[in-house]
Amino acid sequence: MRLFAAALLLALSACAGRVPAPVPQQATPPLPYPPAAAERVVRLALAEWRDWGGTVREAWSEAPGGAPESLPPESTIGNFPRVLAYWRAVEDDEGAIRDNRQVYAAAVWGLGSSTLWSNPAWSAAFISWTYRGAGVDAREFPPNATHSLYLDALIADARAFPATAPFLPHAPGEYAPRPADLVCFDRSSRNRLSHWTERLAEAGVPRPMHCDIVTAVAPGVVEVVGGNVGDTVTLTRYPTDAAGRILPAPPGKLPLLVVMESRLGRLPPFAP
């Protein structure tokens, strides 16, 4: 553990020459969670995926078409309350609930045909809802409508409490994902980050990113579930090497930036 902490601090020091924007620091160490927390994260993510229709895609392929998020209120899926629940999990919904309640009301009474939940993106709200619904307190997973900002908080925790932090960042080529982990990539169209440590120089400043929850691993494949992928909750399959690490993205495709190792149920006293 000491060697890992030293290696983590060394990686974090790579950007020491640049002063990062302030990120709220936690004064007290995080609490450990039992294995049931990680199990619930996976179970909730998969349950939502099934309820949205069970869309599956191969990594780096085009997202499925259509707009399941906007199905009319008389549909059997009824996705308006689903996405509403995701947004309720974050403190600042960026006006999503206010605006989409109006759109929904118009649709219910046949007074409009605007697209529901098309803006802002709800993928980070889905991730926040899943961990919160699994019983992970905001101290250990600060819910946020922006992926980059909750990642900043998780990385700051790893820096301050490397022995007990609930999540640890890894370069994708250096770590094999496990269920309840997060896999994330940078969606920026310019100045894209090439390594997660580069994020330290701009911590606290929003950046377009996306994360999915690892739900299963098997020889040659890692399966992840994420929200707002093709306007639905989608399961994506990533190919892996013999050690279980996700393979690099094909040329021209967005590479993964970071795998956040979830240590829910993997720390003492629940695991050595």
Quick one: pLDDT at residue 215?
A: 98
Q: How far is CA 82 from CA 37, 134, 229, 252, in A?
A: 21, 16, 15, 34
Q: Per-residue pLDDT averaged across 111-118, rounded?
A: 80
Quick one: pLDDT at residue 108?
A: 81
Instruction: Tell me which residue of 33, 19, 24 sits closest to 164, measured CA to CA.
Output: 33
Structure tokens at 230: 């093709």
**Banded pLDDT at 188 (limits 50, 70, 90):** very high
Neighbours of 69 (CB within 10 A): 23
Q: Please, is 196 exposed, middle or buried when counting C-beta atoms within 10 Å of its C-beta (0-12, 13-18, 19+)?
A: buried
Q: How far is CA 268 from CA 2, 134, 181, 216, 254, in A?
A: 15, 19, 18, 23, 36
**Banded pLDDT at 70 (limits 50, 70, 90):** low
Least trusted range by pLDDT, from 79-88, 105-114, 175-184, 217-226:
105-114
Is pLDDT larger for residue 186 or for residue 18?
186
Q: Are 174 and 65 in contact (CB under 8 A)?
A: no
Quick one: pLDDT at residue 183?
A: 98
Q: Per-residue pLDDT averaged across 97-102, rounded?
A: 93
Quick one: pLDDT at residue 272?
A: 80
Instruction: Tell me which residue of 223, 142, 153, 235 sits closest to 181, measured CA to CA.
Output: 223
Q: Is the pLDDT of residue 207 over 80?
A: yes
Quick one: pLDDT at residue 110?
A: 78
Task: Give the sheet arrangement for strand 221-226, strand by strand.
Answer: 55-58, 234-239, 221-226, 209-218, 182-186, 256-262, 167-170
Q: Is the pLDDT of residue 149 over 60?
A: yes
User: Could you identify the residue written with the tokens 């969670």?
Assistant: 33
Q: Is the pLDDT of residue 159 over 60?
A: yes
Q: Is the pLDDT of residue 112 over 50?
A: yes
Q: Per-residue pLDDT averaged across 109-117, rounded?
A: 79
